[in-house]
Structure formats: structure tokens, C-alpha cells
Amino acid sequence: MNRRDSIRSLFLGSMAGGLALESCISASEETINEKIWEYQYGRTPEEAARDEKLLATQYFENTEINVITRLANLILPPTTDGTIEDAGVPKFIEFMAKDFPGLQTPIRGGIMWLDNHANRHFDNDFINITEDKQHEILDQIAYPESKGEQKQEVKFFSLMRNLVMTGYFTSAIGIKELGYKGNQPNVWDGVPEDVLKDHGMSYDASWMPKFVDQSKRNDIAKWDEEGNLMS
């Protein structure tokens, strides 16, 4: 089992219109719509308005987004299934930081630590040093058992790892990589004839016409004006 498979297993194991606030949004409707997630779910008008308001602003600086993106790629490197960027992970983390302000200081502080540490040891910002040197820094904070002066940095990396994995594996690309299919429709034609025969049983012939005709399962039901089922 490779590293990505291990992470996948861990993740699976852990998984058990105008709007009222439109006037509060300073960005154009076109700009907001470009930022709206492709996959929406049931939201009340108030919740949708709040989401749009958050999506219309940006908390992290572009330089910080670059570090987040690089860090996410180090945590989950690209594969043929997709990339961090394809899954919209940086946008997800940016949104989460606005939706849960308590994440802002730990993430921003962790990014500052990465840059300060990189500059102190390698004379450059984290984003500009080699991948080997980036891994060298992350190896110091990537394990929960790390102790001492880097306790906060360890918490930062753990937080980022959780956000990256959640953002990726809840995206369409990540779900496809997991192979998750969800509930799939099937056709139930009753107990197979050979099984009935083995148990000495059979269906009552008088009931057979009352069963669902699977050949018409995709037909749309129609009712008359009085609400009586026509077909």
C-alpha cells in the first residue's frame, strides 16, 4: 500500500434568485457566480446569501494562497485522477477560514512560521526553496508525537492536512478516486425462479399482474384533473 492509498484508507475510516442580503455584497453578480461551487445542496435563502457574501471576499493574501496551494500539493501530490487545483482545495480552505474565523490565526501563523523557518535555514521563502528542503521542514512538524518548541507548528500541519484531505476527498475528483458510488438504482423482479424452486415456493399467480412492470419503470406517471392516476 502506497502513501496515497494509506491516506485514502484513513479518510474512509474517519467518514462515518435574488437574496435578502444581496445589498451587502460589494462584488458584481458575475464575479460571485464564478466563485459559487459547482455542486450546491439544499440551502435556505439566508444560508445561500451568507455563502455568497463570504465568497465575494478574500481573506488570505495571494502569497498566502500560493503557500497553501504548495503545501496542499506536498500533502497530496497530483495523480492521474486529479490535482489539488482541480479539486478546488485552496478555494475550499480559503472559504473555511472565512466560515470559521477560528481557523484564520492558526493557518496564517503557520504560514508565517514556514516562511520564517525557510528564510532562517535556507535564505528564502518556503514557496521558493526546493521540494527536498520543503519536505525537510515539513518532516519536523508532520507527526503528532513531535514535542517541544514546535508544538503549535505540529498543530498547524495537522489542521492543514485535515483541511486538504477533506477538501480533496469531498470533491467530485476525490470521490471518484475513492471509488465511492453511493446508492445505485437497480431492478427488482422478485425472488429468482431457481431460488423459489429450491425452497419449494412460488408466487401467487393472481398477484403477478399487480407487481411493478419493470419495462415501464422509467415512464412518468400521469394524473387527471381530479388527481386520479391515469398511468
- Domain span at 10: 3-178
Q: Is residue 208 part of a domain?
A: no
Q: Is residue 137 part of a domain?
A: yes
Q: Is residue 91 part of a domain?
A: yes
Q: Is residue 90 part of a domain?
A: yes
Q: CA 131 to CA 154: how far, in whole Å?
A: 19
What DSSP letter does each residue of 39-95 carry, written as one string? S-----HHHHHHHHHHHTS--S-HHHHHHHHHHHHHHS--BTTB-TTTTTHHHHHHH
pLDDT, residue 23, reads 36
HSE-CB at 169 with a 13 A cutoff on CA atoms is 22
Residue 57 has pLDDT above 50, yes or no: yes
Grid cell of 214 as nine digits = 419493470
Do 174 and 82 meet the contact criterion of CB atoms below 8 Å apart?
A: yes
Q: What average pLDDT does this structure show over 127-144?
A: 93
Residue 154 has pLDDT above 80, yes or no: yes
Q: Is residue 229 part of a domain?
A: no
4 vs 167, residue with greater confidence: 167
pLDDT, residue 224, reads 85
The pLDDT tens digits of the residues spanning 65-80 come to 999 999 999 999 998 9
The pLDDT tens digits of the residues spanning 168-190 come to 999 989 998 888 888 877 778 78
pLDDT, residue 143, reads 81
Q: Is residue 220 part of a domain?
A: no
pLDDT, residue 110, reads 96
Q: Is residue 185 part of a domain?
A: no
Residue 200 has pLDDT above 70, yes or no: yes
pLDDT, residue 149, reads 60
Coil, strand, or helix at residue 21? coil
Q: How many domains does the chain have?
A: 1
Which phi and psi (to 5°) does residue 48 adopt? -65, -40
